[in-house]
Amino acid sequence: MPNFAYVIKDSEGKRVEDYLRAASVDGAMETLRRRGSEIVSIREIKSEFQADRLTVPEQINLALYKARTHVQSVDFS
């Protein structure tokens, strides 16, 4: 399942940036809406190899997401 980076406004109006795993962008959007969130932006993270295209805050959020979910990096060398 792909990962999606998103920015939302939560039910209290706070801006939240995080990552979500879902089968599709529609599934990710549905999950966020069910939580009562207003979606500001959402995009699929294609692979870890595109991490150099992420902003520094996005890289930090991705690292925190991986730590929370115990996602392992794959070494292809």
Identify the pLDDT of residue 77: 42
pLDDT tens profile 2-25? 889 999 998 888 999 998 989 999
Out of 5-9, 25-29, 63-67, 73-77, pick the least confident: 73-77
Residue 71, token pair as written in the block: 């996602």
pTM exceeds 0.85, yes or no: no
Which structure tokens are listed for 57? 């805050």
Confidence of residue 76 (pLDDT cuts 50, 70, 90): very low
The two structure tokens encoding residue 62: 């991705």
